[in-house]
Amino acid sequence: MGEPHDSVTDSALGQGEQRIRATVVELLESEGYDAIQVREVARRARVSLAKIYKLYGTRDELILAALDWWIAENCYARVPEYVARPHESLHTGMMRVLRPVFEPWEDHPGLLAAYFRARASAGGQTLMSRGMDALFPAAMAVLADVDMDFIHDLYAIVNSLVYGLMGRYSAGEIAVTDIVPAIDRALYWMTTGYAATR
């Protein structure tokens, strides 16, 4: 993919595992989910089939691990440590947390389609859980003065909205660049409505 990766991450993963995940990401982006064949991944990554199956029991686990790695490196690593800014609106603060997560997908639409499909797979819940863990500290810092009922409603609505937008993109109904503006508008109206009740 040509993207720099942290040398600490590279050494922690091991060069073989690093090459495996990078190869899967490249195939997902260029050829799609159905193109992932373990034998082809092994050939391109210059590792044995035995090594892949030792690390990942199934093809789906291999895909999930590669997506999880890419997202951690390219999306969640960009989430800022939230520092309150004077007079910043709830909407602006939340978009400061969410925008860095969703904007990288615009340059990697093939991976977004693969993520949507992987999330619906048997182990796909781990992708969502990892995302929540990554976003939780910054999001809760933004929402520190907000009541819990609104936080629960916000989570449920935004989670469903994001899943729906990804599904619509995967079905070819919207452009990948429509996702962030839709999240932005939804957050604006929800937070504006909440502010009006206080």
What pLDDT is recorded for position 15?
Answer: 80
159 and 63 in a common domain: no
Tell me whether residue 73 is in a domain: no
Q: Which pLDDT tens digit goes with each residue over 47-94?
A: 999 999 999 989 999 999 999 999 999 999 888 776 667 788 999 999
Do 89 and 172 sit in the same domain of this protein? Answer: yes
pLDDT at 175 over 70: yes
Q: Please report the pLDDT score of residue 84 as a whole number.
A: 66
Residue 43 shares a structural domain with residue 126:
no
- Are residues 181 and 104 part of one domain? yes
- Identify the pLDDT of residue 4: 42
Q: Is residue 74 part of a domain?
A: no
Residues 40 and 95 in one domain: no
Shared domain check, 117 and 186: yes
Q: What DSSP character marks residue 89?
A: -
Q: Which of 58, 61, 73, 60 is nearest to 22 (CA)?
A: 73
Cβ-proximal residues to 116 (8 Å cutoff; 6+ apart), any chain: 166, 167, 169, 170
Per the structure block, which two tokens stand in for 126?
A: 């781990």
120-162 pLDDT, tens digit each: 888 888 888 888 888 998 999 899 989 999 999 999 999 999 9
Same domain, 112 and 138: yes
Query: Does residue 24 belong to any structural domain of this protein?
Result: yes
Distance CA 133, CA 76 (A): 10
Q: Do 96 and 157 share a domain, yes or no?
A: yes
Number of domains composing the chain: 2
On whether both 61 and 153 belong to a single domain, the answer is no
Looking at the structure, tell me whether residues 104 and 57 fall in a common domain: no
Q: Which domain holds residue 63?
A: 4-67
Share of the chain above pLDDT 90, in %: 71
Do 43 and 90 fall within a single domain? no
Q: Can you give the pLDDT at residue 88?
A: 87
Scored b (16 or more CB within 10 A) or e, 102-119 reads bebbeebbbbbbbbbbbb
Across residues 94-114, what is the average pLDDT?
Answer: 95
| Residue 77 included in any domain | no
Q: End of a domain among 32, 67, 102?
A: 67
